[in-house]
Amino acid sequence: MFKNLFGLPVYKSKINPDIYNKKEIIDTITENYLKDKTRNSWDSLCSLHHSNNDEENKNFKEINYQDLLPIYNKEISKFLDSMSLLRYTKFSYNVSNYTCMENSNYMKSHYHNDCDFNLVHYIKFNKTQHIPTLYENTHSFSNYCRDLRPNLKNVLDSSSENNSWYYSNYCVEVNEDDFVITPAFLFHSVPLQKNVTETRMTIVLNILLS
């Protein structure tokens, strides 16, 4: 399903949890997480456990993504088929990392500079507890449109991504097993998780077109 986030194309869909080794992946991530809840070789300003820049670390078990890869391949193909491309486009992708966080964890704002799109798969996500990825509106008007046109807030449905242009940041509504594809240059973060009793897990992909 294509969505419109700040005027940018965003694609959201759902992965069937019964057609791959979901429990095995969650169990392995959980085992790694319990070994070191602050595994973070990516950036010292973040507070979470994740594998980025640390995939070769033998202290942690390698995640078996093999059953998921053909599913990702099929879903990315659907996404590209939905776009207005001028020609047949090949693509490649890689699992950038997984993330695992709980209460008081967060991830700083960043973008992906080595790909065209990125995908976030919410493999373990409790909608009643967890906050999804927060995307930032970097259009120049986003800093002042609420001051110049404050009355618009009273007529715009804030739950619709089509109205996200009005806001300085926005969370795409997600459930467990959903995935979201966005342009890689779109800044995003994971807000501070509060009053959380369950771990929140995602798998992140980088997608490159050729």
pLDDT digits (tens, 9 = 90+) for 92-107: 999 999 999 999 999 9
Domain count, the chain: 1
**Sequence-separated (6 or more) residues with CB below 8 Å from residue 208:** 91, 92, 93, 114, 115, 116
Long-range contacts formed by 5-9: CB under 8 A, 24+ apart:
5/135, 5/161, 5/164, 5/170, 5/172, 5/182, 5/186, 6/135, 6/137, 6/138, 6/139, 6/142, 6/164, 6/165, 6/170, 6/186, 7/139, 7/165, 8/182, 8/183, 8/186, 9/83, 9/183
Q: What is the pTM of this model?
A: 0.94
Question: Of 12-26, 91-105, 143-157, where does mean pLDDT reach its minimum?
Answer: 143-157
Stretch 15-41: mean pLDDT:
97
| Residue 184, pLDDT above cutoff 90 | yes
Structure confidence at residue 48 (pLDDT) = 97
Structure confidence at residue 144 (pLDDT) = 83
| Residue 87, pLDDT above cutoff 90 | no
Domain with 127 in it = 2-209
Stretch 3-13: mean pLDDT:
92
- CATH number where 150 lies: 2.60.120
